[in-house]
Amino acid sequence: MQKERLRGSPLLVYLVFALDPFVFLAQGQTDTPLTPALFIFGDSLIDSGNNNYIPSIARANYFPYGIDMGIPTGRFCNGLTVVDYGARYLGLPLTPPYLNPTSKGRKILRGLNYASAAAGILDETGQHYGARTAFNKQISLFEITVTVQLPPFFQTAAELSQYLAKSVFIMNIGSNDYINNYLLPNKYISSHIYSGEAFADLLVNIFTQQLTRLYMIGARKMVLIGVGPLGCIPSQLSQASGNIGCVERVNKLVTLFNNRLIQLTNTLNASLPGSIFVYQNSYDIFHDMVINPSKYGFMETNKACCGSGRYGGDLTCLPLQKPCENRNQYIFWDSYHPTQAVNAIIAQGCYTEAATGCYPISIRQLAQL
């Protein structure tokens, strides 16, 4: 896969990028995108830089993050995220982070990214990282967008409602409720209170309320992204004894949640008039990459390209740490997150014409409705 790189004088690039990084990242947009806008909610897997603007330990605004974009943006990756590729497939520019001071004016008509590293479905999730914008708060910020920021660009409330109804909403949330809550029994009480089944029920029940709230604000086309195989990430492997491949207990917990998420997709499609919910199965494609890496061109299946300790999972990528050189052959960029190469493959599974990784239709088809 060709690396994404910026061109021009390094000093000029840095100065302009510091003012507005998305000046450089509008590649792929067209005058006739498949959907008016992309509104993104979630965690560090798709955070495009929101945590740069809050007092949080969970940040990625330093090298070598962004090394294949030419500069760190706050993405927890060496390059682009799944939704970055998704925006390109839909003919949109990369979606700017809501908290960036330059994310205002007509620019927001193509969408906003509210995702925040360490965020979860539960408000308390990730609190040991300091500030983060939990999913409930992300929805509140979107409500401000709809009631304050967007109305000046529409002549009537009906026009705004139609715009929202045609836009696509992406939800990638839930991973932190496990790795930064339930699987940290010394910091959180959830695993002492709930069985795996009961915790999955709790998450889905709260998630249902949150999605219903988004619906009431005006969202209609919503994509629910399943949690990936967390038992295969370097941070979990580093805590396990022996060479076990993946931590199956963790993967089983995640599967409990994902199975309920598929059921939720059907339930909401039937119960919320005019809504279209799509489930993106990121678990199976990611797990297949780990099990059958050569099929996708990968060599390293469990070691972080940038990290320290066992599997590179004891301590995640540090400022100015030298990463691996053959990044396109690694599945994991740091202790928690996939490489750009993996993100590109996952995006192909749902945003292209031949996509088979979404249910009941692809995101491309959803955008065209």
Tell me, yes or no, if 44 is annotated catalytic.
yes
Under 8 Å between Cβ of 317 and 304: yes
Pairing mode of beta strands 221-225, 168-172: parallel
* Identity at 259, one-letter amino acid code: N
Options 47, 68, 177, 334, the catalytic residue:
334
User: SS3 sequence, 135-155?
Assistant: HHHHHHHHHHHHHHHCHHHCC
CA distance 258 to 279: 9
Reduced to 3 states, what is the DSSP secondary structure of residue 130? strand
CA distance 2 to 357: 23
Q: Is 169 exposed, middle or buried (0-12, 13-18, 19+ CB in 10 A)?
A: buried
Contacts of 113 by beta carbon, 8 Å cutoff, 6+ apart: 39, 40, 46, 47, 48, 49, 50, 83, 95, 96, 97, 98
Q: Which of 351, 336, 294 is nearest to 82 (CA)?
A: 351
Reduced to 3 states, what is the DSSP secondary structure of residue 40? strand
Helix (H) or strand (E) holding 211: helix 196-217
Options 44, 175, 238, 362, the catalytic residue:
44
Under 8 Å between Cβ of 118 and 178: no
My answer on whether omega of the bond before 229 falls inside 30° of 0, hence cis, is no
Tell me, yes or no, if 192 is annotated catalytic.
no
Q: At what angle do helices 340-351 and 82-89 cross, to 10 degrees?
A: 40
Under 8 Å between Cβ of 362 and 321: no
Options 103, 190, 335, 337, the catalytic residue:
337
Torsion of CA 133, 151, 25, 96, to 10 degrees: 0
Tell me, yes or no, if 337 is annotated catalytic.
yes
Annotated catalytic sites, by residue?
Answer: 44, 334, 337
